């Protein structure tokens, strides 16, 4: 049965999920990337400005994205 209590619990859950998403987005934004890719190439300053959390050079990123797309 639908009750006032269920409604409040539901709202609380929505609020918690919203907060969790905000926290995750914030963590993503403040996450610092690296200057060097895992392949050893230097990640260009322009790329790092555009994607501060980048950990791969453009070439590796393209490979990873292509693989993800093919899956
Ligand atoms: Zn690379």
pTM of the model: 0.47
Q: In this predicted structure, what is the pLDDT of residue 31?
A: 63
Enumerate residues with CB within 5 Å of ligand 1 (an ion). Answer: 37, 39, 41, 57, 60
Q: How far apart are CA 59 and CA 33, in angstroms?
A: 16
DSSP conformational letter for 54 = -
How far does residue 41's CA lie from ligand 1's centre (Å)? Answer: 5
**64 or 2: which carries more pLDDT confidence?**
64
Residue 27, Ramachandran bin (φ over 0: left; ψ between -120 and 50: alpha; else beta): alpha
How far does residue 49's CA lie from ligand 1's centre (Å)? Answer: 17
Residue 29 has pLDDT above 70, yes or no: no
Q: In this predicted structure, what is the pLDDT of residue 25?
A: 80
């Amino acid at each position: 049965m639908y009750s006032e209590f269920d409604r409040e619990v539901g709202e609380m859950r929505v609020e918690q999920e919203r907060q969790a998403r905000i926290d995750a987005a914030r963590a993503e934004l403040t996450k610092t990337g690296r200057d060097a890719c895992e392949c050893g190439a230097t990640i260009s300053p322009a790329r790092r400005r555009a994607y501060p959390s980048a950990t791969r050079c453009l070439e590796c990123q393209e490979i990873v994205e292509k693989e993800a797309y093919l899956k």
